[in-house]
Amino acid sequence: MDSFLIEGGEPLKGVIEVSGSKNAALPIIMASIAVDDEVVYTNVPDLRDIHTTINLLNILGREAELRDGVVTVKNGALSMEAPYDLVKTMRASVLCLGPLLARLGEAKVSLPGGCAIGARPVDQHLSALEKMGASFDLENGYIHGRCPGGLKGAHIRFDFPTVGGTENVLMAACLARGETVLENAAREPEIVDLANFLIRCGARIEGQGTTMMHVWGVERLRGCSYRIMPDRIEAGTFLIAAGVTGGELLLRHCPLGDMSAVVDKLRAAGMVITEVPEGVLARVGEEGLKCVDVCTRPHPGFPTDMQAQFMVLMCCAQGSGLVEENIFENRFMHVQELVRMGADIHVTGSSAMVRGGRKLTGAPVMASDLRAGAALVLAGLAAEGETRVQRIYHVDRGYEHLADKLSAVGARIRRVKEAD
C-alpha cells in the first residue's frame, strides 16, 4: 500500500483545476442502467470509486469504460446481481438497486460497504421502494428485491433527508407507472445534477433542489451526452489548503454557488475568498485565522464531508471553536491522529472542542476514511517537519491525482510505498 510523504511549512501558490464531482458522477453513471441507449459522460474524475462503478456496470451487462475524463456506457443485456466483491468496497454500489428493479423487475445487490464512519443503513431506500410495489428479502448478505408487476408511483416521505435514498428512488420513479412524490427529499447539488441528467434523457421531474420532488414515469429513457458538475468538496478542501499554509490559490471551475455554507464559515474564520474572471481566489486575510463554531447539517447546511478538513483549519487558527457532527455518529476518527500532530481537540459525544494556536508537527498518521485522509494531508501541509499519511487508498476514492495537484502549487508531497 502507498503513503503520502509530506514536508510541511510551504505556502501554496498557483492555480488548481477543480475536478468533476465524485458524489455526482457515481449516481449519474449508475443511472445509465435505466437508459436504453449509449450514454457519454464528460468531466468524470479518475478515481478509485469511478473505476469500481465501471467494473460493476460491466458485470451488470453494460459496456463501460473511462478514457481521458470521458465515460462511455453502451447498451447490453442486463444482469440483476451486484456481487459482494465490488459492493463491499463502495457504498454507492447500492444505487444500482432502484434502476435494476425498474428495468428488470428484480435485483440482487450485496449489502454495501465503503468508509467506516458510522451506520448508514439502507432501510429508507427499501421502505420507499416497497411503497412502489417492490418486496425484499435479505439472503446471505444480499438484498433480493422483486417487483414482477413493475414499479408504480407512490407518495414517499423520508424520515430523514437521505441522499442515497433520494437518488435511488428518483432513478426508479422515472420508469414507474404514474406519479411519485418524494417528500423531505435531500437537496444536495449532486441530486440536482442527477435530476438534470435524467431530464436530459427524457424523464419528467420537477422540484429538484427542494424538499418536495414530483416524478412522472415514462416508458423509456434515451441516451445523451452529459457533463458532470465540479466537485464542491474537493474545491472546499483546496480553499482550506490555501488557508492552513498561508498561501494563495486560484481555483478554476470552482462551484462557488453550491458552497455557501462552507464559504461563509471560511470567511468568518478570516479567509478572503473572491470571485475573479479566472475563477475563485483564496487567501488568509490580514487579521489571520480565528476559530468559529461549525455544525454539520443536510444541504444547504454545512456538509459533513467538509467537517474533518475544517477542523484542521481551526487547529491552525487562534481561539477555540466547537464542531458538532449531526450526520454520522463515528466521524471524529481523524481527531486522535491530529492530536498526535500536536492539535488540542477534546471530543464529547457528537461534539469536538478545538483550541487553536498550537503549532502542528509532522508525525506518522493513518487515514480511517476518505475525508479524514484529506484532513491529514492538510495537516501535513501545515505542520513543521515530515508527515507520513498511511492508508491513502481512502483518499484515492475521492480526490483525483491529489499529490500531483498539490505539488504543482508548491507542496512538498510525494507518493511512496509503505516499505520505503
Distance CA 125, CA 96 (A): 11
Same domain as 261, residue 349: yes
How many CB atoms within 10 Å of residue 104? 16
| 249 and 118 belong to one structural domain | no
Give just the sign of the alpha carbon dihedral 120, 118, 256, 267.
positive
Helix, strand, or coil (residue 99): helix
**pTM of the predicted model as reported, rounded to 2 decimal places:** 0.95
Please, are residues 322 and 316 in contact by the beta-carbon 8 Å criterion? Answer: no
Are 281 and 146 found together in one domain? Answer: no
Yes or no: say if 376 and 387 are a contact pair by the CB < 8 Å rule: yes
High-pLDDT (> 70) share of the chain, %: 97
Of 209, 227, 245, the position where a domain reaches its end is 227
Same domain? 323 vs 287 = yes
Q: Please tell me the total number of residues recorded for the chain in this structure.
A: 420
pLDDT in tens, 71-96: 999 988 999 998 888 777 777 788 99
Alpha helices, DSSP H, located in 83-143: 84-87, 97-104, 123-131
Same domain, 250 and 177: no
Per-residue pLDDT reduced to its tens digit, 212-261: 999 999 999 999 999 999 999 999 999 999 999 999 999 999 999 999 99
pLDDT digits (tens, 9 = 90+) for 393-416: 999 999 999 999 999 999 999 999
Q: Please give the average per-residue pLDDT across 181-191, as a whole number.
A: 98
Could you tell me if 287 and 196 lie in one domain?
no
Examine the domain organization and report whether 69 and 9 are in the same domain. Answer: no
Question: Does 339 share its domain with 401?
Answer: yes
β 155-157/142-146 pair status: unpaired
Active site residue 115: yes
Final residue of a domain: which of 182, 208, 227? Answer: 227
**Mean pLDDT estimate for the chain:** 94
Domain that holds residue 303: 2-18+230-417
Q: Are residues 101 and 63 in the same domain?
A: yes
Total number of domains constituting the chain: 2
Encode pLDDT of 357-368 as tens digits. Answer: 999 999 999 999
Q: Both 162 and 285 in a single domain?
A: no
Least confident range from 17-31, 99-113, 181-195: namely 99-113
264 and 393 in a single domain? The answer is yes
DSSP SS3 for 119: coil
Total Cβ atoms within 10 A of residue 372? 30
386: phi then psi, degrees, rounded to nearest 5: -100, 135
Indicate the residue among 181, 206, 227 that finishes a domain. 227
d(CA 245, CA 306): 17
What's 207's domain CATH number?
Answer: 3.65.10.10
How does residue 115 score in pLDDT terms, banded at 50, 70 and 90?
A: very low
| Residue 49 sits in the same domain as residue 112 | yes
Q: Which listed residue (96, 115, 254, 291) is catalytic?
A: 115
Cell of 51: 473505476
The DSSP line for 266-303 is HHHTTEEEEEETTEEEEEE-TT--B---EEB-STTSB-
Q: Which amino acid is at 245?
A: T
The torsion angles phi and psi of 390, rounded to 5 degrees, stand at -95, 165
Which element (helix H / strand E) includes 410?
Answer: none
